[in-house]
Amino acid sequence: MNCLTEKTGVSPVDGDELRELISHQEKIRENERKRIAREIHDELGQHLLALRIEVSLLKQDVFNDAGERAKRIDEILAHIDLTVKSVRTLINDLRPAVLDLGLVASLEWQARDFSRANGVTCIFHTDDDKLELDDRHATVLFRVLQEALTNIVKHARADRVEIGLRRVGDNLELTVADNGVGMPKVRNRKVKSYGLAGIRERIGMLGGEFRIRTGDTGTTLVFVIPYRDKNVRTT
């Protein structure tokens, strides 16, 4: 197997690449703001408007028949359920609620959800199920894994993924390995994939490093960040 190993940490990048990355990240943030605003308007706003209309009609005693009135109340309850679901989705987009269960549980849940949604065998393992991080670091690892799994679906054509989490000295190491087609085209040049550039930026902001081992078959992503226990206050 032709093997490529790329290591990216907090080393400086050239000016053009940095400007390209910053521009892309700003576009991502702006698109995310637009998406959330659109969902608030199209879903949450519409549900609330429908609820207001339905309650106003009930208040006016438009439905005198008890059966019809009960039916309308059931419809109002259904609207409330949809509204609650919309709010939960928006909150989860901003910060995944599953992180409240802890780092290991959240990554394990993500592996199961990925497997269920894509029909790909995805195995999570760790040598310490008590590993915890402060909220900032845990959120970054969760998002990094999310982005890595999305890239696998888009590009790797893999049917098996293994995710590993372990502590190595003063660092925490997360590995994501697939048995897909690999990335031979990135040989002899820096990875230009925006998905990988975003991952590199997230890890670099934590003072960590990002390594890629790939070839004609299979790719392994390795993320190493300083270990920060959740009980240690960080700035």
Structural domain boundaries in the chain: 4-24+99-226, 28-94
CATH number of 4-24+99-226: 3.30.565.10
Place of tokens 């991080």: 133
The tokens describing 106, both together, are 């959240």
Give the pLDDT score at 22: 60
Separation of CA 219 from chain center: 20
The tokens describing 158, both together, are 């893999």
How far apart CA 151 and CA 65 sit, in angstroms, is 56
Residue type, 85: K
How far apart CA 82 and CA 85 sit, in angstroms, is 5
The tokens describing 70, both together, are 């009960």
Residue 170 in contact with residue 227, Cβ under 8 Å? yes
Residue 107 in contact with residue 133, Cβ under 8 Å? no
Q: What are phi and psi of 5, to 5 degrees?
A: -120, 125
Q: Which residues of the chain have pLDDT under 70?
A: 1-32, 61-64, 92-94, 184-195, 228-235
